[in-house]
Structures are given as C-alpha cells and as structure tokens.
Structure 1
Amino acid sequence: MARLVSTATKAMAVVVLAAASAALAAHDYGDALHKSILFFEGQRSGRLPPNQRLRWRQDSAIHDGAEAGVDLTGGYYDAGDNVKFGFPMAFTATLMSWGLIDFGRSFGAHEAEARDAVRWAGPATAPTRSPTRGPCSSSPSPPPTSTRRCSACSPTSPSTPTQRSTDERAAS
C-alpha cells in the first residue's frame, strides 16, 4: 500500500510539472508584443505612414491645433475616442523607450515597430509649450461630450478644455 501511494505521488508530481511546463510554454510573448504594437498603431492620430498595418485606419485630425496656429498632428488617441492627452502619451512613450533600452534585442523582429511607436508620440507633444508663445493647449479637441467630460471644468466656467492651457489644467 505504501508503495502504491509513493508511486501515485510521483506520478502526480510528474503530471503537475508537465502541466506547469506546458502552461509556461503556451505563452507567446512575441505575439503579445506584436498585438500591443498593433494597438498603438490603431490609436495613431494624424497622417498615417505608408507602412501602417491596420488598413481600416485612415488619416485623422490632420488639422489638429490649426485654430491656435500650432501643429499638434500625430500622437495617440486616449481610450479609443478622439482625445489626446499629453502626459499619458509622454509617459507611455517613456515606458516604451525604457523597454527598448533595456530589452531591445529581445524584441526581435518587433524592435523597429516599437521604435516607430515611440517616435510617433514625439512630434505631437513637442509643440505644446513654446518659449515665445507660452503654454498652449495640448488637447485642442472639441468641447466635452457626454462620453468624455472635463472634471476640472465647472458648468459655469467660461473656459472649455480647448481654451485652457496645459499649466492651468495641471494646477486644477
């Protein structure tokens, strides 16, 4: 009986180890990275490059910032809508950059795509502050709708998110 229990225990251990190693082997981090980069390509704003892999996406917001005399085209939309936020976009680009610095060789065939994803955020955030013009809006989007309210704006406030500067939003 003791021998049977010992054999059964060993067999269970082998099955558990085999199942655990199969579960670990089932994770395809290359595929996860590929899909993550595709997600960012789907969130792109501005004139899309010829190598855009998501063919259902078209150019968008190609006159972003024109009313204020600033070119804010490019960058990424936030939350699948038509709003871009500078700080989350800059933070995301920073994390992607750190990932490339620390693990770039591990990205394999996706390294160039990840570098393109980081570069896409840069031009959109650069013109949000000008030494000659001062701060300008980093989100010259339409006034808030029912799906995206500006929590810093009161209903009686004369400022809309398109008129408030980056510094004003940071202070509120």
Structure 2
Amino acid sequence: DREGIVSYLGVRVPSLKEIGIVLGSWVVILILILVVSTIVQLLGTETAANQSAELAMGNPAIIPLFVAASFLVIGPCEEILYRGVVQGRLRESLPAAPSIALAAAIFATIHVMALTGGLSARLTTISILFVPSLVFGAVYEYTENLVVPALLHGLHNAVIFTVLYVTVTQVDPNELPTVLGFFPV
C-alpha cells in the first residue's frame, strides 16, 4: 500500500534543517569534486564524456529542460532506486557505512552506460561519480528522508547543467575542454 511504501522509503516534506543539509551537503560535494577533479587533471588521466552533456553541448536550448528534469525526474527517480531501494535493502542486513558504499558503487557503475570514451576514461569518471553518491547516501542515512538526497541530487545535476549552459553559451569554444574538465558532466 502507498502508506507502507512512503514509510519504508522515508518520504516527507523536508524541514528547514533538512533544506540546510541539502545546501551544506552540496558545498561539500562541490569541494570534493574540485579536489578529485584537480587530482585527475594533475595525473593527466582522461575522463569519459557523458552522452547527455554531449547532446546538451550540441543543442544548448535543451539545457534548461535538463535543469528542470534534474529536480523533477533525475534526482527523485535515481534516489528512489539507489537510496530508497538499494541502500534501504542493504541496510536491513548491513551497517550504515557498507550499505552507503555499496549503493554508491552500484549507482556510479550503472552510469557507465551513459559514458563515452575508453575503459580507463570510463573508470575514472565512475570513480568521480562515486564521490557525490557517497554524500547522497550519507545524507539519506542521517535524515531518514528520501526527499533530502533527491533534492541534493537534483541541485547537484542542475548546477552542472547550468555551468554547462553558461560555458557553452558564454565561453570561447577553444576553452571548453579546460573549463569542462573540472565537472563530471
């Protein structure tokens, strides 16, 4: 029944504190992504391209739709599956840390289907995607409210798409690889 599912997943309107957790956690993700991306660049490791980002770069007019979809579809649907179902089921038999790590690994790995490039580049990008996924999982564990990581995930993706939009429409095309190298789009 609906009540049972909502209760199992922990779905409720976020409190003001939980909205603060979304914003604070996004700052943590940003810092972690910048650190990891800097390390990747210093090592000279290639990252894979994301098919959605490539599509958006070719047609920037669709990026605002991707921003909206980040909050309305991508964040909620992926968080229902990876935090609500996968992490929730793992949590029934494992402690929090391994449940979060396993769900994050599954989340990051499944994104290989959306990536283009060589195996090494794909593995590097999967490793980068693992970082925000860990934060999504920790936030879900802490708040026990699926709406919070869904909003965080939506915000994270929306910011990436917004940066992509500004970059594609405002930056010299010769500078794109340098600018976009810091974002796992």
Please report the TM-score for the alignment, with normalisation by the length of structure 2.
0.26
Flag the structure with higher helix content: 2
Larger radius of gyration: 1
Structure number with the bigger relative contact order (C-alpha 8 A, sep ≥ 6) is 2
Please report the TM-score for the alignment, with normalisation by the length of structure 1.
0.27
